[in-house]
């Protein structure tokens, strides 16, 4: 028997075609979830959905650009049309960057990142919330340690994740009376492919990672920890000891934390 915590749990995952979103879909499929998979690339989503169905899940594909409000609304309505409810919304779609602010050649990079990483979660959450209230469901935000602290070359990404964390923290308070829980996930570096898709100073994807991918957390481990936190309805998950210590040090030695962040980016781990 699949894990009861997600058995027939109607779960929406944005950014489900690759990386953390794809792995979330696969691991939740093993638990018998009923999935609505969203991303821009329909062919990749179809592949993920097929694998989920083989693992015992139900899965539908809803091609969605989360920067488009109308498409986010359609994602929610298509899910409800198929499954008649929503139990869990996982806002996972994300976009990163790699450039110093003073080297940017195109400021629209910052607009694009904010649209994906912040407005995308606002749109999806807004339309899903009435249904989540009915099921006393879960909202899950895949954020980042950079939603808690800054880092060089990630200025737009960090700003968008700070906005996301603020949104979720405020929403959690508003939803407390409805028994809808909000879980914020803050991984450290994870080997997901996001850095290859990160935008450079010219607003084009880098095509290669700036980090030593072999020395950072695997996507499988990240998702295992994430699902455990979702099941427990945790308020927040800081995924690495470095992150936990860093946030504590930030209170008493902020300059030291700045130096740690700089060194981490420069050394690629």
d(CA 35, CA 141): 17
Evaluate if residue 239 carries a pLDDT over 80. Answer: yes
The pLDDT tens digits of the residues spanning 9-18 come to 999 999 999 9
d(CA 17, CA 131): 24
Question: pLDDT at position 222, please?
Answer: 94
Evaluate if residue 269 carries a pLDDT over 70. Answer: no
What's the length of the chain? Answer: 269
Evaluate if residue 75 carries a pLDDT over 80. Answer: yes
Of the pLDDT bands very low, low, confident and very high (cuts 50, 70, 90), residue 240 is: confident
Question: pLDDT at position 18, please?
Answer: 94
d(CA 148, CA 250): 10
The pLDDT tens digits of the residues spanning 192-216 come to 666 577 787 887 877 765 655 556 7
The CATH-assigned architecture of domain 10-240 is 3-Layer(aba) Sandwich (3.40)
Percentage of the chain lying above the pLDDT 90 cut: 71
d(CA 64, CA 202): 25
Active-site residue (options: 83, 118, 127, 157): 157
The pLDDT tens digits of the residues spanning 149-167 come to 888 889 999 999 999 999 9
Burial of residue 255 (CB within 10 Å: 0-12, 13-18, 19+) is exposed
Domain boundaries, the chain: 10-240
Q: Which residues pair with 90 in a beta bridge?
A: 13, 140
Which residue from 51, 125, 42, 39 is spatially nearest to 88, judged by alpha carbons? 125
Q: Which two tokens stand for residue 257?
A: 């934390």
Evaluate if residue 191 carries a pLDDT over 80. Answer: no
Question: pLDDT at position 1, please?
Answer: 43
Question: pLDDT at position 35, please?
Answer: 98
The two counts, helices (H) then strands (E), for the chain are: 9, 9
Which residue from 33, 38, 47 is spatially nearest to 15, judged by alpha carbons? 38
Q: Which residues pair with 191 in a beta bridge?
A: 218
157 is catalytic: yes
């Amino acid at each position: 028997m699949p894990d009861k915590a997600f058995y027939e749990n109607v779960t929406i995952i944005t950014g489900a075609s690759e990386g953390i979103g794809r792995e979330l879909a696969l691991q939740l499929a093993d638990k018998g979830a009923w999935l609505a998979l969203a991303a821009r690339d329909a062919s990749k989503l179809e592949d993920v959905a097929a694998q989920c169905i083989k693992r015992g899940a139900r899965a539908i594909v809803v091609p969605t650009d989360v920067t488009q409000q109308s498409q986010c609304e359609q994602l929610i309505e298509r899910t409800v049309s198929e499954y008649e409810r929503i139990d869990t919304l996982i806002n996972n779609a994300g976009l990163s960057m790699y450039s110093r602010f003073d080297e940017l050649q195109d400021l629209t990079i910052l607009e694009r990142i904010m649209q994906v990483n912040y407005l995308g979660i606002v749109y999806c959450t807004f339309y899903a919330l009435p249904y989540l209230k009915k099921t006393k469901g879960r909202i899950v935000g895949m954020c980042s340690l950079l939603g808690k602290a800054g880092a060089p070359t990630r200025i737009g990404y960090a700003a968008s994740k700070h906005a996301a964390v603020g949104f979720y923290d405020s929403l959690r308070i508003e939803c407390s009376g409805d028994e809808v829980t909000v879980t914020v996930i803050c991984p450290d570096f994870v080997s997901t492919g996001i850095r290859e898709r990160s935008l450079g100073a010219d607003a084009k994807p880098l095509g290669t990672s700036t980090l030593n991918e072999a020395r950072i957390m695997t996507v499988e481990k990240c998702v295992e920890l994430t699902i455990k936190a979702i099941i427990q309805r945790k308020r927040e998950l800081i995924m690495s000891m470095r992150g936990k210590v860093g946030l504590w040090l930030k209170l008493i030695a902020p300059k030291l934390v700045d130096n740690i962040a700089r060194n981490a980016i420069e050394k690629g781990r």
